[in-house]
A = this chain, B = another copy of it.
Amino acid sequence: MHAKFSREITRMKRIEGQARGVVRMMEEERYCIDILQQLSAIEAAVRAAKSKVLEIHAAHCIEDAIRTGDSEGQRQKFRELVDLFEKVGR
């Protein structure tokens, strides 16, 4: 099931749990430094998820373009992919 994103679903559920953990830390008025550390961990996890989804998307686009065969269509598809990488990278 959900073969395409199965690992990323696990990853996102972990992020959801981490966000809930930060809510609890804030309710308990825990030390800011500890909260910041948790937020940095979430930020890194979200970036990793983005990177993985982008990779899945790129692999799909590449297969699609190769299957199509026609040069102009391939050129178009790859340029869109390059634009996406630039946009997401920022």
Contact = CB atoms under 8 A, between A and B. Distances in A.
B62 A75 contact: yes
Given A46-B46, A49-B39, A88-B40, A12 B22 contact: yes
Interface string A33-58: 10110011011001101110111111
B35 A53 contact: yes
Number of copies: 4
Interface residues of A, number: 52
A42 B36 contact: no
A82 B52 CA distance: 11
A61 to B, nearest CB: 9
Nearest to A32: B57
